[in-house]
Structure 1
């Protein structure tokens, strides 16, 4: 079966996870650099990953999508809106690009923009939040460039590689997103 895009950008598209993707998703969880950047400390079995994906497919408070390249359909990571709160109109976002060769090429930024457009333009959310570890300076720079603002620091929130690390809370509000990206779209026309 050919992958069906859910959201499409210039270089990448976001799509749901198919049964045949589960082994690839499982492998992505064991990339050493990705585990460090996401703060993943646990090991998972293939069955646990399969159950997680099954649960997410029926969870209305979460949207889990794979990031794939337009040119060849290669899956390079995943992105998720989670804890979607329709009353307070907010959620968390997380992203992982699973291989260093795909990092720093704009794929993550494009995936984030697609998901923010979906969150604010379709789901009618007001606020999108994320956490990033202080040692992930490249991600912090990207998030700030996308319009996220630092809100606070959770001191010593993660223990990894024999040390404690701070977690930075960042968010973007719908009006900040619209001021930045809707205005940008009008200028390009």
Structure 2
């Protein structure tokens, strides 16, 4: 289990499926996470189980927990490119009462550090859409830089929007956030 200042990250378990199914059917969560409302709501419960537990393909998905072990979101990566040591990151805070409170920032810092120091990736990228300004500010706070746009690549509620492409390199991230250190107590800091 990974631990940040506010969050814990662990593998997704069967007990998480009902909550993940609820989030996949929530208009506001899907609107901000991907702009894919109502497309994401077409998943059945069995498809959610298949997606998260049985056949995750080349996608690695994890549960994000708060300080009291309440499931508040998911984080993960996909599109692993071994020769380039790069990967694409995704994150969703499904519990809306945790939006804007720093849980996403803490999860991103914790998880991206893990990807750079344990998986030995050189580059982490992600994308969002142009009106998701809260997410863009969070990504920039973590160290991601806007690298480009795909014009009108997203169709959201009847309108085309640009996809915003962002990335961070290992050296940039570690200069900003540092590596974990083992304290004399034996805990990671």
The TM-score with structure 2 as length reference comes to: 0.88
Count of residues paired in the alignment: 177
- Tell me the equivalent position of 2:115: 119
Structure 1 counterpart of 2:60, from 63, 75, 98: 63
Query: Which whole-Å deviations, capped at 9, do the CAs of 1:91-143 have from their partners, x for residues lacking one?
Result: 00010111321100000001101110111000000000000111100110111
- Tell me the equivalent position of 1:144: 140
- Tell me the equivalent position of 2:158: 162
Q: Is the 8 A contact 1:157 1:166 kept in 2?
A: yes
Q: Is the 8 A contact 1:132 1:168 kept in 2?
A: yes
Q: Please give the residue correspondences for 1:77-156 in structure 2 after superposition, counting only pairs within 5 Å.
A: 77-156=73-152
Distance 1:65 1:104 in 2: 20
Q: Is the 8 A contact 1:31 1:99 kept in 2?
A: no
Distance 2:35 2:63 in 1: 19
Q: Is the 8 A contact 1:157 1:165 kept in 2?
A: yes
2:23 is the counterpart of 1:24:
no
Q: Is the 8 A contact 1:28 1:77 kept in 2?
A: no
The change in CA–CA distance for 1:49 and 1:183 in structure 2 (over 3 A counts) is closer
Q: CA deviation at 1:50?
A: 0.7
Distance 1:116 1:51 in 2: 26
- Tell me the equivalent position of 1:3: none
Query: Which whole-Å deviations, capped at 9, do the CAs of 1:10-43 have from their partners, x for residues lacking one?
Result: 2110111111211111111112111111222231
Where do 5+ consecutive residues of structure 2 fail to align?
182-188
- RMSD, aligned α-carbons: 1.7
The change in CA–CA distance for 1:48 and 1:31 in structure 2 (over 3 A counts) is same
Secondary structure of the corresponding residue to residue 119 of structure 2: coil
Distance 1:182 1:106 in 2: 19
The TM-score with structure 1 as length reference comes to: 0.88
2:72 is the counterpart of 1:76:
yes
Q: CA deviation at 1:163?
A: 0.7
